[in-house]
Copies of this chain bind each other. A is one copy, B any other.
């Protein structure tokens, strides 16, 4: 597509082929999962041959890792940068909204979240194989820990147990949104579209921030306390 100045035809074409294979792999892995698509199909989509993929990436698994690594570090870095900018200050959104957005946004749009990598990531998470678990832990465990700490600081009265469970809800929502099963689009006749990153972020960030902010309701006292809470919160 883009016509780059070619200094050395060989090298430049090599880079382009490598890039095209990565792009095709990201697209097809996203659509069919890592086991649902063949190396042959990927390289055909890229206008190359399966031998080229093995030359550049060693194996199909190497290709999968390369697709992942291409953007994962960028997402983790962007998250941490955004987190460091979060602070409670007049004229800014509430701190919790800032933290939640800092966690969700880098993976959902922008340099590393857009162009299909979001969907790829959602699918890798959903597949939940030994390999993808290891990859995900290696690239994201650090920054995730930082966000848990920041959330606990912002919510000192929330128990660690509840904090982690709400984080679990946020992760599930993120993964489900990225994987885009298209279910709520149909059920809402197209009114809700989680595959639109702008709409998804603007809608989910306040909902999830509010979820973190809700008071603890221990299961045992659910039925007694909720009447009081309803009378305060219900519109």
Contact = CB atoms under 8 A, between A and B. Distances in A.
B166 A207 contact: yes
Would you call the interface of chain A mostly helix, strand, loop, or mixed? helix
The size class of the interface chain A forms with chain B is: 35 or more
Nearest to A216: B235
Interface stretch (A17-25, A41-49, A168-176): A168-176
Question: How many copies make up the complex?
Answer: 2
B188 A161 contact: yes
A129 to B, nearest CB: 7
A160 interface: yes
Contact of A94 (B97, B183, B216, B230): B230
Interface stretch (A61-69, A102-110, A217-225): A217-225
A94 B227 contact: yes
B169 A188 contact: no
A73 interface: no
Which 6 pairs, one residue from A and one from B, show the smallest C-beta to C-beta distance?
A172-B176, A126-B126, A202-B219, A35-B35, A164-B188, A172-B173
Interface of A: 32-33, 35-36, 91-94, 97, 123, 125-129, 133, 136-137, 144-145, 148, 157-158, 160-161, 164-169, 171-177, 179-184, 186-188, 191-192, 194, 202-211, 213-217, 219, 222-223, 226-227, 229-230, 232-235
